[in-house]
Amino acid sequence: MGLDSIFALFGFSEGDNKDLKKMKDDLEVYKETPHFRVGMFVKIIMNGNVFKKQVVSFFSKSNPELDLKGMDEAGEYMMYSRAYFWIQECKLRNKEWKLALQNVSSENLLCAVKLSINYFESTEEFEKCAHLKKIQDFVEKSLVK
C-alpha cells in the first residue's frame, strides 16, 4: 500500500494536494531522526524473531527436506544486519540521540540491544558489540531513573 492510498483514507486526495506533499516531505525528514531510527531498531529485532519463526515453520511444513538451519542463519543475519543499520549512527554525545534513547528507553529496547550484542558476538563482529554495549549502558542508566 502506497502513502497516497494511506493518506486518502484520511480525506487527502491523491495528486497535487499541497498538504499531502508536505506530509510526505515531513515523513521523509522524520525517518532520518534518531527517534525514528531507535524505534525501527527495536521493531525489527522484536518483530523479526516472531516473523523468522513463522517463516521457518511454514517452510518446514511445506518441505521437510529443506535445510532449516541455513534458512534460520540467513534470517538472523538479515534481521540483525538490518536492525543495526538503523542504530549504527548513534552518537551518545549527541543530545538528539540521548533524548531518543531516553524516550524509547524500555525493556524492549534493552532486550533488542542485548540480543544484538549476543548475535554479533557469535559472528565475531566486535566493533558492533562495542557500539551496542555503550548504548546498553546508557539505556540501563536511563531505566533506573
Tens-digit pLDDT profile for residues 92-139: 999 999 999 998 878 999 999 999 999 999 999 999 999 999 999 999
pLDDT of residue 85: 96
Give CA separation, 4 vs 11, 17, 30, 89, in Å.
11, 10, 17, 30
Is a pLDDT exceeding 80 seen at residue 86?
yes
Is the CB of residue 2 less than 8 Å from the CB of residue 15?
no
Encode 39-52 in three state secondary structure: HHHHHHHHHHHHHH
pLDDT tens profile 14-69: 555 677 677 777 778 888 899 999 999 999 999 987 777 777 777 777 777 776 77
State residue 51's pLDDT score. Answer: 75
* Residue of 143 and 126 predicted with greater confidence: 126
Mean pLDDT of 67-81: 81
Give 69-98 as a DSSP string.
HHHHHHHHHHHHHHHHHHHTT--TTSHHHH
pLDDT at residue 28, as a whole number: 81
Confidence of residue 13 (pLDDT cuts 50, 70, 90): low
Cα–Cα distance list, 29 to 9, 32, 86, 98, 101 (Å): 22, 6, 15, 19, 19
Cα 84 to Cα 95: distance, rounded to the nearest angstrom: 20
Cell of 37: 531510527
